[in-house]
């Protein structure tokens, strides 16, 4: 009992510290911590608003992780009302559905064994061999040998489609450029008076939603390598290229990914694949092609998990997968680009 209370206290402290680091400007406009320099990395702590829908309302936080049916199945989650999401709220009758996809149970190299297997002893909250089991948001609680989702109840236990018990780490490269006219001049939005920023978006094959290219970090792989690899595979179809074409793509991507970048977000993601015992975390990083010369010489071509790929104008009209809407908004804020035609909803100055 004492261990359980200690775990809950640690989880509460972790979330409190994360939330305290965010200064809120208004319900529709968030400030983020200052950068170490104008175009270097920063990181953005867990914010329940970031996990919410486009309206940013706290009441709808941790929302997509409670939707049914579970992706790729007919499994319906147990319903979790907003007021019962948090683990600190007592709910003796909570009876979540158990589900782990057959593709995960088959034991692919990217997936953990079942907790019940005698030869499986994962080291949660630490580096476990080459597998990173630390959360980007601090310590998470272990209950009956299973890690508990730090954002709260989802109505489903097991791993669903996720391979790892606990945090499943991903990386999302946000590649941007300024929208320009035929003469090469930046296009300014007539209402906001700000230049229009574009980013490379893919249409996911699994759900049909538009998203930032990205994918899972392989065991032992550096985040920077994941970002470059995933963008090449999903937005440039590098897996299907010849050796010579791959070398050319690699050279251009090396130039792009060697530039100064913005670490837009680092932490928990409100993802429809999340369960009580497995969840998505990511690092979303913005690489900006200021002149457009690098990306203008690369042909976008959907590959791997992407069905389509294209440049998309950034604005508050976007409808994107998981928490990607919030990531793109943060990019627009940091680049001082157009976001909304509503002047009160647009952020000015950071």
Instruction: Give me the domain span that covers residue 193.
Output: 64-347
Helix 243-257 vs helix 223-235: crossing angle, to nearest 10: 130
pLDDT score at 321: 85
pTM (2 d.p.): 0.77
Give all strands (DSSP E) within 163-220, no chain letters: 166-178, 197-204, 210-211, 215-216
Distance CA 89, CA 307 (A): 41
Whether 32 maps to a domain, the answer reads no
201 three-state secondary structure: strand
Listed residue (167, 163, 170, 169) closest to 114, CA to CA: 163
Determine if residue 4 is left, alpha or beta; phi over 0 gives left, psi from -120 to 50 gives alpha, anything else beta: alpha
35 is a domain residue: no
Give the best-scoring range by mean pLDDT among 26-35, 190-199, 203-212: 190-199
Is residue 17, in this structure, part of any structural domain at all?
Answer: no
7-21, 99-113, 244-258, 273-287: segment of lowest average pLDDT: 7-21
191: number of Cβ within 10 Å: 12
Residue 50 lies in a domain: no
Average pLDDT over residues 319-325: 89
Phi–psi pair at 296, nearest 5 degrees: -65, -20
pLDDT for the residue 334: 96
* pLDDT band at residue 203 using 50, 70 and 90 as cut-offs: very high
Separation CA 137–CA 115 (nearest Å): 23
User: Is the dihedral angle over the CA atoms 251, 247, 295, 307 positive or is it negative?
Assistant: negative
- The pLDDT tens digits of the residues spanning 187-200 come to 999 999 999 999 99
**Count: domains in the chain:** 1
- State the first-to-last Cα distance of the chain, in angstroms, to the nearest integer: 45
The count of residues in the chain is 350
Q: pLDDT band for 305, please (50, 70, 90 cuts).
A: confident
List the CATH number of the domain containing 80.
Answer: 3.90.79.10
- Distance (Å, whole) CA 348 – CA 334: 10
């Amino acid at each position: 009992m004492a261990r359980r209370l200690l775990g809950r206290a640690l989880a509460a402290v972790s979330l409190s510290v994360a939330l305290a680091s965010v200064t809120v400007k208004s319900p529709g406009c968030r400030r983020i911590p200052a950068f170490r320099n104008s175009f270097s990395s920063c990181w953005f702590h867990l914010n329940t608003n970031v996990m919410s829908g486009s309206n940013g309302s706290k009441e709808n936080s941790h929302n997509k992780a409670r939707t049914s049916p579970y992706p790729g199945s007919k499994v319906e989650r147990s319903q979790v009302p907003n007021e019962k999401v948090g683990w600190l709220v007592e709910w003796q009758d909570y009876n979540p559905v158990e589900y782990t996809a057959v593709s995960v149970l088959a034991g692919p190299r990217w997936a953990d064994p079942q907790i019940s297997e005698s030869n499986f002893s994962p080291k949660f909250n630490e580096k476990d061999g080459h597998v990173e089991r630390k959360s980007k948001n601090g310590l998470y609680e272990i209950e009956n040998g299973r890690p508990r989702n730090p954002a709260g109840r989802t109505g489903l236990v097991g791993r669903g489609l996720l391979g790892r018990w606990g945090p499943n780490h991903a990386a999302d490269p946000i590649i941007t450029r300024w929208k320009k006219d035929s003469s090469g001049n930046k296009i300014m939005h007539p209402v906001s008076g700000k230049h229009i920023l574009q980013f490379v978006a893919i249409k996911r094959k699994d759900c049909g939603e538009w998203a930032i290219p990205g994918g899972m970090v392989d065991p032992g792989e550096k985040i920077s390598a994941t970002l470059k690899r995933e963008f090449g595979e999903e937005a440039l179809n590098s897996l299907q290229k010849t050796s010579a074409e791959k070398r050319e793509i690699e050279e251009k991507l090396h130039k792009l990914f060697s530039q100064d970048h913005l670490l837009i977000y680092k932490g928990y993601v409100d993802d429809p694949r999340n369960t009580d015992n497995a969840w998505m975390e990511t690092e979303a990083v913005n690489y900006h092609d200021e002149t457009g010369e690098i990306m203008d010489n690369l042909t976008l071509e959907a590959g791997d998990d992407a069905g389509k790929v294209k440049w998309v104008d950034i604005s508050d009209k976007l409808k994107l997968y998981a928490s990607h809407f919030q990531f793109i908004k943060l990019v627009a804020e940091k680049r001082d680009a157009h976001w909304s035609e509503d002047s009160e909803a647009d952020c000015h100055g950071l």
